[in-house]
Amino acid sequence: MGKKLYVGNLPYSATDQVLVDSFSQVGTVAKAQIIMDRESGQSKGFGFVEMSTEAEAQAAVEQFNGADYDGRRLVVNEARPMAPRENRAGRP
């Protein structure tokens, strides 16, 4: 089973393919996704990469966490489960 990584502080110009190309340097990328704002369609500046093995995921963290990408210092670590949201005004 693969390991999901959080990739933060990405430039807004980054794409899913950029993540795949970059992280493929250390192993097999099962999936890569930049998170987009629903309303504007613009990148939120972070995404997720799923590596095919834990060893590849650890190698990716070691290589890319703190690395410079397009003038920005990347944050790469193991993804954590999303915390439950509180009800927002008027939403069920």
pLDDT at 82: 81
Write out pLDDT tens, residues 74-92.
999 999 988 887 766 655 5
Give the CATH superfamily of 3-78. Answer: RRM (RNA recognition motif) domain (3.30.70.330)
Q: Where are the domains of the chain?
A: 3-78
pLDDT (0 to 100) of residue 27: 96
Q: Where are the beta strands (DSSP E) in 9-84?
A: 29-36, 43-51, 68-69, 72-73, 75-78
CA 39 to chain centre: 20
Element (H, E) at 74: none
Residue pLDDT, tens place only, 37-71: 999 999 999 999 999 999 999 999 999 999 999 99
Chain mean pLDDT for the chain: 92
Q: Are 16 and 24 in contact (CB under 8 A)?
A: no
